[in-house]
């Protein structure tokens, strides 16, 4: 009799214990990590002069980053959260612009203009528009809105830009750039056009079997970083990078080009 009583009591305790645990679990809210993706990114490239080079982003919560490069008022990585009203104003303008109707790239015949790239992501769909002065007016208006955000005050420093060391500078040949043309590009025609714009001249083919070419340019017309940026934004160029000095392994001390 006593054993039946103890077994019954134990079952009752387990029942109410499980019920209480279940009620606690149901009453406890499930906290999901709030992951917000960047909706807007604008990159401003270099020009012949002292155009500010920077990257600014903005997401749906108003969180923004500003990465200042050359000639920017702020150099380094900064962050800021804009008001709900200001954020909604910008996001609404991007939505109403219907960027999907425009081209991805607008070619320009004006070399002395910075290349501006705008990326807009919504519902996992991304649209990129790149160009200079030939872009549609609606795209220019969006650029101006992002520039206004970039020019506001009260940014908080997140990461200071690190200066290049003297050793790294000595390895780079700034007047020589290695380019990899895209397939189908007629190199002779491209060189003729770029000679008129930047004083580009062909030095040699880097490798007999690879599509890499070494060029130089007139540094009085274009600064090194601006020249490299112009090549990287050229739709006929797949890749471009400064040439570098390479030490010979036999210890001869020579530093030939690639």
pLDDT band of 12, cuts 50, 70, 90: low
CATH code, 196: 3.30.70.80
pLDDT band of 251, cuts 50, 70, 90: very low
Mean pLDDT of the chain: 82
**92 and 64 share one domain:** yes
Flag whether the pTM goes above 0.85: no
**222 and 122 share one domain:** no
Q: Which residue has the tokens 């040949």?
A: 173
**188 and 91 share one domain:** no
- Which residue, of 102, 124, 159, is where some domain finishes? 159
Report the distance separating Cα 201 and Cα 191, nearest Å: 7
With a pLDDT cut of 90, the percent of the chain lying above it is: 55
Confirm whether 111 is domain-assigned.
yes
**170 and 239 share one domain:** yes
With a pLDDT cut of 70, the percent of the chain lying above it is: 76
- List residues bridging with 72 in a β-sheet: none
Confirm whether 106 is domain-assigned.
yes
pLDDT per residue as tens digits for the range 202-218: 999 988 888 999 999 99
Mean pLDDT of 104-131: 87
CB-based contact 100:127 (threshold 8 Å): yes
Confirm whether 198 is domain-assigned.
yes
Question: How many domains, the chain?
Answer: 2
pLDDT per residue as tens digits for the range 145-164: 999 999 999 999 987 766 54
Report the distance separating Cα 53 and Cα 181, nearest Å: 25
Domain residue limits at 219: 166-244
- Which residue, of 128, 159, 190, is where some domain finishes? 159
Structure token pair of residue 220: 């009085």
Within 8 A by CB and 6+ apart from 75, the residues are 68, 69, 160, 161
**120 and 170 share one domain:** no
Confirm whether 79 is domain-assigned.
yes
């Amino acid at each position: 009799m006593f054993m039946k009583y103890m077994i019954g009591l134990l079952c009752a305790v387990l029942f109410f214990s499980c019920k209480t645990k279940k009620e606690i679990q149901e009453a406890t809210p499930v906290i999901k990590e709030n992951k917000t993706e960047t909706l807007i990114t604008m990159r401003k490239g270099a020009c012949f002069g002292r155009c500010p080079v920077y990257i600014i982003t903005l997401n749906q919560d108003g969180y923004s980053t500003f990465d200042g490069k050359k000639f920017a008022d702020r150099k380094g990585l900064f962050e800021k959260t804009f008001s709900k009203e200001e954020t909604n104003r910008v996001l609404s303008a991007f939505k109403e612009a219907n960027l999907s109707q425009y081209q991805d790239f607008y070619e320009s015949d004006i070399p002395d203009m910075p290349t501006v790239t705008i990326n807009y992501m919504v519902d996992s769909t991304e649209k990129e528009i790149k160009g200079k002065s030939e872009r549609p007016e609606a795209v220019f208006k969006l650029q101006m809105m992002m520039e206004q955000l970039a020019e506001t005050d009260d940014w908080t420093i997140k990461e200071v830009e690190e200066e290049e060391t003297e050793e790294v500078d000595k390895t780079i040949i700034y007047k020589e750039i290695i380019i990899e043309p895209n397939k189908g590009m007629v190199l002779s025609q491209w060189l003729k056009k770029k000679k008129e714009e930047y004083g580009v001249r062909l030095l040699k083919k880097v490798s007999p079997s690879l599509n890499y070419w070494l060029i130089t340019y007139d540094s009085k017309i274009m600064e090194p970083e601006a020249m490299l940026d112009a090549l990287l934004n050229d739709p006929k160029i797949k890749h471009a990078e400064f040439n570098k000095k390479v030490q010979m392994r036999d210890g001869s001390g020579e530093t030939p080009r690639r």
